[in-house]
Amino acid sequence: MKKTFIHLGLYAVLIFQACTSDNNKKKSDEKFSVIYPVVADTIYNQEYIADIQAIQNVELRSRVKGFLDMIHVDESQLVKEGQILFSIGNLGYKEEVLKAKAQLKTAIAEAKMAELQLQNAQILLEKKIISKTEFELAQAKLDANRAKVDEAASNESNANLNLSYTIIKAPFTGIINRIPNKTGSLITEGTLLTTISDNKQVFAYFNVSEKEYLGFVKEKEINHQKEVTLVLADNHPYPYLGIIETMESEIDNSTGNHAFRARFPNPEQLLKHGASGKIQLSKKLKNVLMIPQKSTFEIQEKIYVFTVDKNNIVRMRNIVPKYRLPHIYVVESGLSISDRLIYEGIQQVKDGDKIIPEQVLPKELIVGESR
């Protein structure tokens, strides 16, 4: 019985060795596409979250109290500068204007009378009929009446100003947004009537980390006139390029970011105030080592490739990517231009396998994949 088990064990080992030998022989007979890394110039696009704002966006609020008599526009309507938007009941304010005008006329008349009295007092003082004190009293009365004239004139001006506030006009040409109050609503001082946006052009605000900012500056890849691309929320590029206009003079200590502002034309009114998107900043990369992403694999957050040595033996090697482009890795370390690596079939090999390499042109592959 014991000899039987020994014979069976030896038989199993022989079968396993035979299978392994057959597999290795089969792998060594199989052809795999291999490539060399490419050294070339390319462009790396870094994306940053952008906050889009109209060049002008203003809240229109009531400056007087009253009932909303009429709404002259509708939501989303384009209005011209100076166009009447809202009317607030103004009968009470008209009465205040009339009252102020009457008070001004009375003050002017009283001042005129005081002026005549002063002239008479001057004559009587010269004839020594009245004392100097009585003359000074007449002078003081005139001064007081002139002050009343100034006060009445100020009250009239204020009444006219309040009356003018009952007509709300567009401060600039733009688009009317939501109108929260309807005709007949009681409006108090400070009530929001609507907002108006000038969207002919928009600002895109975005933040760049201090490290990236310094890298761009050192390589002269960013300045106040640099053109940038905007990617919309649906991941489609905006058809017009923008220009960086300004940047913050300080770095935000709480975030370590440097703020930039770019201006974009908006002739079709596609961009709206409050929208979001992504700014793409392009960085030129010169003489960098590139490989296709499909020739790599990941294990525990590390990137590996299969290289092929001079004896056509497969070796697994860890690499460190510096930039990730569409379908391409720019390699920082772990590879040289003289290394061969498996391009296709990395799932079918393992470290130590012997293969038949079939070289393909890496530059054409990389260019093709980057399109």
CA distances from 284 to 206, 218, 288 (A): 20, 12, 10
Is 22 part of any domain? no
pLDDT of residue 224: 64
Distance CA 149, CA 108 (A): 6
Is 2 part of any domain? no
pLDDT of residue 226: 82
Distance CA 135, CA 122 (A): 7
**Among candidate residues 285, 278, 270, the one with its CA nearest the CA of residue 229:** 278
By the 10 Å C-beta count (0-12 exposed, 13-18 middle, 19+ buried), 225 is classed as exposed
Token digits of residue 127: 């004839």
pLDDT of residue 221: 64
Total domain count, the chain: 4
Q: Where is the domain boundary, 230, 265, 284?
A: 284
Token digits of residue 204: 């895109």
| Run of H or E residues at 194 | strand 192-209
pLDDT of residue 52: 95
pLDDT of residue 253: 73
Q: Per residue in 270-313, pLDDT tens? A: 999 999 999 998 888 889 999 999 999 999 989 999 999 999 99
pLDDT of residue 223: 67
Q: Could you list the residue range(s) of the whole structural domain that residue 77 is in?
A: 63-87+167-190
pLDDT of residue 21: 47
Q: Is 339 within 8 Å of 37 (Cβ atoms)?
A: yes
* HSE-up of residue 345 (Cα within 13 Å, Cβ side): 20
Residues 160 and 175 grouped into a single domain: no
Residues 107 and 215 grouped into a single domain: no
pLDDT of residue 366: 57
Is 18 part of any domain? no
pLDDT of residue 318: 95
**Among candidate residues 239, 241, 259, the one with its CA nearest the CA of residue 249:** 259
At 137, the amino acid letter reads L
Distance CA 29, CA 32 (A): 10
Distance CA 141, CA 133 (A): 12
Distance CA 212, CA 61 (A): 42
Question: Who's near 313: CB < 8 A, 6+ residues apart?
Answer: 352, 353, 354
Is 347 part of any domain? yes
Residues 233 and 273 grouped into a single domain: yes
**DSSP string across 296-362:** EEEETTEEEEEEE-TT-BEEEEEEEEEEEETTEEEEEES--TT--EE-S-GGG--TT-B-EEEE--H
pLDDT of residue 262: 93
Residues 354 and 253 grouped into a single domain: no
Question: Who's near 350: CB < 8 A, 6+ residues apart?
Answer: 314, 316
pLDDT of residue 11: 45
Residues 227 and 184 grouped into a single domain: no
Tens digits of pLDDT across the chain (371 residues): 444 444 444 444 444 444 444 554 455 568 899 999 999 888 888 889 999 999 999 999 999 999 999 999 999 999 999 999 999 999 999 999 999 999 999 999 999 999 999 999 899 888 888 889 998 999 999 999 999 999 999 999 999 999 999 999 999 999 999 999 999 999 999 999 999 999 999 999 999 888 877 877 776 666 666 889 999 999 999 999 999 988 877 777 777 788 889 999 999 989 999 999 999 988 888 899 999 999 999 999 899 999 999 999 999 999 999 988 888 999 999 999 999 999 988 899 999 999 999 888 765 555 544 44
Distance CA 45, CA 212 (A): 12
Q: Where is the domain boundary, 267, 284, 301?
A: 284
pLDDT of residue 164: 95
Residues 268 and 333 grouped into a single domain: no
pLDDT of residue 209: 86
Residues 353 and 318 grouped into a single domain: yes
pLDDT of residue 28: 57
Question: In this structure, what CATH number is given to the domain that contains residue 355?
Answer: 2.40.420.20
